[in-house]
Amino acid sequence: MLIPIVALLAIVLYLVAAGLLARPLLGGGAPLNRSADGVAGAAIVAHAGVLLGTHRGALDLHFFAALSLVAGVVAALTLIVNLSRPVAALGVIVFPLAALLLGIDVFVAPPSRPLGMDWQIKLHVTVALLAFGVLSIAAVLAILLAIQERALRHRQFGSWLRALPPLTLTEALLFRLIGAGFVLLTLTLLSGILFVDDLFGQHLIHKTVLSIVAWLVFGTLLFGRKQYGWRGSRAVNLTLIGMAILLLAFFGSKFVLEVILHRTA
């Protein structure tokens, strides 16, 4: 009974944090970043408690449990980004999504049992989750950058623009996140080579191939940025393409096997 209550508390806190950050959209004024950060921090702690309690303190990588885990990681990384470089619009998008995925995992999804993993695989999975989380935030930031550029191009200076930093800072943060995510994704592939017995085996070959393709996309973007100064729509498009491929790599087969075919083993 305690877990549903804590989950509801986390969901409410996520939504309150998003509302504080969405102040420019709701009624004008600047986003309340400090208050939102405190509320979001409490939501993330509650979310972590739910994950530990629901999944017995283990890494549960079944579809809905994995989505909730990734949502918690992305929310925590969003909070860290906002503490160093406030981007209120990130929280407006990420925190409600984290609340939704947590709610689905606790109140809708069928119960699942974590699979046993040795420490090497846990390390590989942890690095992969961090890579996915950082690049997810980069993808959200790419969407915001595209919206921001379009608004400035059409001289649509709404109050919501106060939720975003200046365009050059948004772009700089985007590439910083992509660079960090690329390093983590590289470590993910290397740890997979070292620790996974059959990296190209059944149920893993598509993850491996798609992850390599995503790695090549992000690597190409970083190379083009350094050598040719790529930015704007090209940077946004490549970021979103790379993230879409990575999303398929992480969750494509899980969705088919567990949601469509109802195979959870």
Q: What is the pLDDT along the chain (265 residues), one digit of tens a residue?
A: 689 999 999 999 999 999 888 876 666 666 667 888 999 999 999 999 999 888 776 777 778 888 999 999 999 999 998 888 777 778 989 999 999 999 999 999 888 777 777 878 888 889 999 999 999 999 999 998 888 888 777 666 566 665 567 778 888 999 999 999 999 999 999 988 887 776 655 567 788 889 999 999 999 999 999 999 888 889 999 999 999 999 998 887 676 666 665 665 4
Confirm if 10 and 151 have CB atoms less than 8 A apart: no
In terms of domains, do 168 and 264 share one? yes
AA identity, residue 123: L
Rg for the chain, CA atoms, rounded: 19
In terms of domains, do 144 and 229 share one? yes
In terms of domains, do 72 and 121 share one? no
Could you tell me the residue range of the domain that residue 43 belongs to? 1-114
- Residue at which a domain ends, from 93, 114, 135: 114
Compute the distance between CA of residue 10 and CA of residue 7 in angstroms, rounded to an integer: 5
- CA dihedral 96→78→71→239, nearest 10 degrees, is 100
* Claim: this prediction has a pTM higher than 0.95: no
In terms of domains, do 138 and 240 share one? yes
- Residue-wise over 183-217: b if at least 16 C-beta within 10 A, else e? ebbebbbebbeebbeeeeeeebeebbebbebbbeb
In terms of domains, do 94 and 144 share one? no
In terms of domains, do 144 and 164 share one? yes
Q: How many domains does the chain have?
A: 2
**Helical ranges in the chain per DSSP H:** 2-21, 23-26, 33-54, 63-84, 88-103, 119-153, 167-195, 205-228, 232-254
- Residue at which a domain ends, from 54, 80, 114: 114
In terms of domains, do 183 and 228 share one? yes
